Amino acid sequence: SAEWGFNTESFFFTFHAVHLGLLPATNHWTRVNQEIGEIKGAIEEANANASRQGLSPMLLEFQMAQYKNVLTERMQLKYSLDSLLFNPPLVRSVFRFLNYASLWLLRVAFGSLDDDFPGTLPSEPPEDFAALPEFMVDSLADILLLYLRHGPRFQCISHDLDVKNLITMLVHFMPSSSF
């Protein structure tokens, strides 16, 4: 058993930073986008109901001003999060780390340093894998899904990103509830 050193500690600190920083930011981005959709829906509904309910123009104008202020705040936050999360250099760094972390998780799960993984995982996770925090695989999958789903719209996903290990990890881990 090798001593833990700087590289090992840096790896786990980075993984923890992804879990405590990047993942909550992506969840916040998702919530802000949902809120924007809800506010836009409320504006449309208020406009449609104004004529049916006979609201005074002054009351409708006040209500619309409130909606638009909240919408402006949410849009500013969305644009800030867009520029943070979909910054191409950050995305490249995140994918490089996620790809490396996926390879490492596969090696621990299979108990092998080879990069050629057999078809199925062992029936029970090795002791080293079982000792890892549960969030590791979930965090990788959540961040990967966000970038694959929304990244192309922001043109931050390039075709030269290496995701082979990420996909291999997902293919192996998804059907196995014990991993």
Query: Smallest Cα–Cα separation from 81: which of 29, 27, 19, 37?
Result: 29
Three-state secondary-structure class, residue 151: helix
> Is the confidence at residue 2, as pLDDT, over 80?
no
Helix intervals (H) in 86-154: 88-110, 127-130, 135-154
Amino acid at 51: S
Region 91-114: mean pLDDT is 88
Helix intervals (H) in the chain: 6-17, 23-53, 57-85, 88-110, 127-130, 135-154, 164-173
- Look up residue 2 and give its DSSP letter: P
* The dihedral formed by the CA atoms of 12, 15, 16 and 17, expressed in degrees to the nearest 10: 120
| pLDDT score, position 119 | 74
Q: For 50-85, write each residue's pLDDT tens digit.
A: 777 777 788 888 989 999 999 999 999 999 999 999
For a pLDDT cut of 90, what percent of the chain falls above it? Answer: 32
For a pLDDT cut of 70, what percent of the chain falls above it? Answer: 97
175 within 8 A of 120, measured Cβ to Cβ: no
> Is the confidence at residue 179, as pLDDT, over 80?
no
Q: What is the mean pLDDT of the chain?
A: 86
Please identify which residue in the block is written with the tokens 């961040």: 143
Q: Please tell me the least confidently modeled range out of 12-26, 74-88, 144-158.
A: 144-158
132 within 8 A of 8, measured Cβ to Cβ: no
Region 118-135: mean pLDDT is 84
> Is the confidence at residue 1, as pLDDT, over 70?
no
178 within 8 A of 132, measured Cβ to Cβ: no
What is the pTM assigned to this prediction?
0.79
